[in-house]
Structure 1
Amino acid sequence: MRGLGELEARVMDVLWSADAPLRVRAVLDRLDSDRPLAYTTVMTVLDNLHGKGYVRRHRAGRAYEYTAVESREEVGARLLREVLQSSGDTEQVLLHFARSASPEESDILRRALGRRDPS
């Protein structure tokens, strides 16, 4: 994800796959890592993600529990919108994307446009 470091993205993957808010220890235990990570490293990453607005936290006793503010899909859509807005020519970017889309992506776009409210 744009704007996220490698470890931040992996932490977000853990939060997106969770069914409930997670404490730092639970995030650490669920992270796949080639090298051992310190509890404080994961705590710092979660604090940074909170500061960036990707996660919310609430007190649960003496610790925080963390959840993603937006779903993975919502973040992806927001980042796409940011790219389009910063491109200088939204129409050309969208047209280029549509011409380069795979058959599966084209089908998804057609279905989505067919459901779109005309108002």
Structure 2
Amino acid sequence: MMEANKLAVDVQRIHQLNSLLRPFIKRPSSGDAITFEQYRILHELAMEKVSTSELARRLNVGQSMISIQISRLLNNGYIDDETLATDRRYHVFEITPRGRRIEEHVSDVLNEELPELIQQLTEIVNAR
């Protein structure tokens, strides 16, 4: 009986965590609706040009997810595609000025709001 109660409490905590995180991760930023996954890609590209396979490795996600998000970021003008002159099959991606503005804005929001979010998450996890 104690195990069933503990499981019920854990499931409730997970539901609370999910409810708290979903709006934070999904909300649009600075008038441009980007997903958290797209932000993560822009954040990586703000540091250097990177290939699809390297992005997948760094973000620990599948290449198909990266390819879908790359396509959306390209279509919205947040990144550019560059092929190597020596191997036209190899593509690297670079953040555009528009993409950099979005990445900087979301980073500022995260820096401002993340401490409060972490506090709320800690309270949920530590609730007895």
Q: Give the TM-score of the pair, scaled to structure 1.
A: 0.51
Alignment of 1:22-101 (within 5 A): 22-31=50-59, 33=60, 37-60=61-84, 61=87, 62-70=89-97, 74-75=101-102
User: Tell me, what secondary structure is at the counterpart of 1:67?
Assistant: strand
The alignment covers a number of residue pairs equal to 73
In the TM superposition, residue 27 of structure 1 has moved relative to its aligned partner by 1.2
Contact 1:56 1:67 in 2 (8 A): yes
Whole-angstrom distance in 1 between the partners of 2:43 and 2:103: 13
Q: Offset at 1:3? A: 1.4
Q: Is the 8 A contact 2:82 2:92 kept in 1?
A: yes
How far apart, in 2, do the equivalents of 1:29 and 1:66 lie?
Answer: 15
> Percent identity among equivalent residues?
11
Q: Give structure 2 stretches of 5+ with no counterpart.
A: 1-28, 107-128
CA distance, structure 1, for counterparts of residue 70 and residue 80 of structure 2 = 9
Whether the 8 Å CA contact 1:16–1:71 is kept in 2: the answer is no
Residue 34 (structure 2) pairs with residue 4 (structure 1): yes
Give, in angstroms, the shift of residue 38 of structure 1.
1.3
More helix by share: 2
Which 4+ residue blocks in structure 1 deviate beyond 2 angstroms? 71-79
Confirm or deny: 8 A CA contact 2:79 2:99 kept in the other structure: no
1:16 aligns with 2:46: yes
Kindly provide the amino acid, as one letter, of the partner of residue 74 in structure 1. Answer: R
| Unaligned ranges ≥5, structure 1 | 80-119
